[in-house]
Amino acid sequence: MDSVNQEEQAPTITLDGEEVGFSPGETVYEVATRAGRAVPTLCYDPRLEAFGSCRLCVVEIAGQGVPAASCTTLATDGMEVTTASEGVERLRRTLLELVASENREVVVDPLRGIASQELATLVERYDAGRGRFDGEQSGRSREDDGNPFILRDYDLCISCYRCVRVCAEQEGDYAISVANRGFATQITVEFGGHLRDSACTFCGQCVQTCPTGALADKKALRFAENGG
């Protein structure tokens, strides 16, 4: 009877010393967030498949030599997780400093979209300076793109691919893609062209998921410029 009861027990992880139950298939990030931990993210959007590129959501897992991205790591029974050790918090701060140093600016007009304040909020939370990794900036703006709806200010892009993924996974348009690799990575459309010549339907999903304001609604910005 005892063994039957044991088998029926819900699986748990130990989260910062607290035992927390989870459903099979949940990620460590999902369990931690549900348990009230403010694990930072940049490439994560709950509507999208986890991507694991920004590494901000890293946590320490007992027995693992290096911090793991919690958004792509499934919770397993008995796992011991530390979400905000000194080392992990220092790593997050350094990652934010790297990301922020590549951008022309971090604080952007909130009219650039719902998610546009995410990077600035995290930079402030972690007091992540922008000068430590001064150097070249990645991304090339497409202000020459004459479409009337979406500003493509890739000086502010951090290559989180949320725009690419929302376009594919939520809209099924596959209008936005990625060119090149590493520091030369560039968000683009087919043949490096303009949005209006692509499969884009101007649904605006890419604008609303962008965590830095690299994409923006031109109409909203014009409206604000003209005093509403």
Contact residues toward ligand FES (CB under 6 A) are 41-44, 52-57, 69, 71
Beta bridge partners of 20: 13
From residue 138, alpha-carbon distances to 43, 75, 219 in Å are 17, 35, 26
State which residue, 20 or 48, has the beta carbon closest to ligand FES.
48
CB of 29 to ligand FES, least distance (A): 7
CB of 137 to ligand FES, least distance (A): 21
Tokens of 171: 């809209």
State which residue, 4 or 66, has the beta carbon closest to ligand FES.
66
3-state secondary structure 180-196: CCHHHCEEEEHHHCCHH
CB of 67 to ligand FES, least distance (A): 11
CB of 81 to ligand FES, least distance (A): 14
Neighbour-count burial of 218, counting CB atoms closer than 10 A to its CB (0-12 exposed, 13-18 middle, 19+ buried): middle
CB of 51 to ligand FES, least distance (A): 6
Q: Please name which of 56, 133, 113 lies closest in space to residue 90, comparing C-alpha atoms.
A: 56
State which residue, 55 or 196, has the beta carbon closest to ligand FES.
55
State which residue, 59 or 167, has the beta carbon closest to ligand FES.
59
State which residue, 187 or 195, has the beta carbon closest to ligand FES.
187
Are the C-beta atoms of 207 and 152 separated by less than 8 Å?
Answer: no
